[in-house]
Structures are given as C-alpha cells and as structure tokens.
C-alpha cells in the first residue's frame, strides 16, 4: 500500500511563508511525476506545481516566482516552499504521485493539509 502524508499547513499572515511536506511510504524513484494541488472552498481542485522525474518543474501562473517544489530522495519527501503568501492561496493542499507499474499507471493522493492566509 502506498501512503502519502502531508504536513506543514496552518494559519499565516499575508506575505508570510509556509513549507509543506509530503512523506511517501515508498521510494520517490517509483514515480513518474509528483506534484501539489490545492482546492479552495467552493472551487475545483487545481494544479499548483509539478516535478516530473528527470524533467523541469512546472508551476501555475498564480504561484510562479513565489512557490518552489522540490524532492528529497533520501527522506522520500516531496516539499512545497510557499513564500509571499496571499489570501487567495488559501485552501486544502494535496500531495499527488503518478506511478507506472509495468504498463499500467496508478495515481495516489494524500488526505490534504489546510493552508489559511489572512489579510
């Protein structure tokens, strides 16, 4: 069983920073693509950042220049450093991993961590 556990969410003032972590129960090398998504109240889940295996990172335009996605293979952890936070960044942030097993792909999600940015 593959488990993804997010942490690091909380309440922060606008302009502040948070660092989210996602600890994965198996090696990160098992995944093709990992990323962070978020869902604001009343809105659909949206992509925040992606980090493909061996590829360049990708960011939503709304967070580009403020957020940084990274991986720590030794700790099997996906992270999201969030700086200059804005109230519109508020939402539940989810860790995601895309795994290729033989010729079949599998998607895994964490349960999410709440990020609230106050004015």
Residue pair 78/96 in contact (Cβ under 8 Å)? The answer is: no
Can you give the pLDDT of all 119 residues of the chain as single tens digits?
A: 899 999 999 999 999 999 999 999 988 888 999 999 999 999 999 999 999 988 899 999 999 999 999 999 999 999 999 999 999 999 999 999 999 888 888 999 999 999 999 99
The rounded distance, in Å, linking the Cα atoms of 37 and 105 is 19
Token pair 């030794």 is found at: 74
pLDDT for the residue 22: 98
């Amino acid at each position: 069983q593959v488990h993804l556990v997010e942490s690091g969410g909380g309440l922060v003032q606008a302009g502040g920073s948070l660092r989210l972590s996602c600890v994965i129960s198996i090696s990160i090398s098992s995944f093709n693509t990992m990323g962070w998504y978020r869902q604001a109240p009343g809105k659909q889940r949206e992509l925040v950042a992606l980090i493909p295996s061996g590829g360049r990172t990708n960011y939503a335009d709304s967070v580009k220049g403020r957020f940084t996605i990274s991986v720590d293979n030794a700790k099997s952890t996906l992270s999201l450093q969030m700086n200059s936070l804005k109230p519109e960044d508020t939402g539940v942030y989810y860790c995601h991993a895309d795994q290729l097993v033989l010729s079949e792909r599998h998607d895994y999600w964490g349960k999410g961590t709440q990020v609230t940015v106050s004015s």
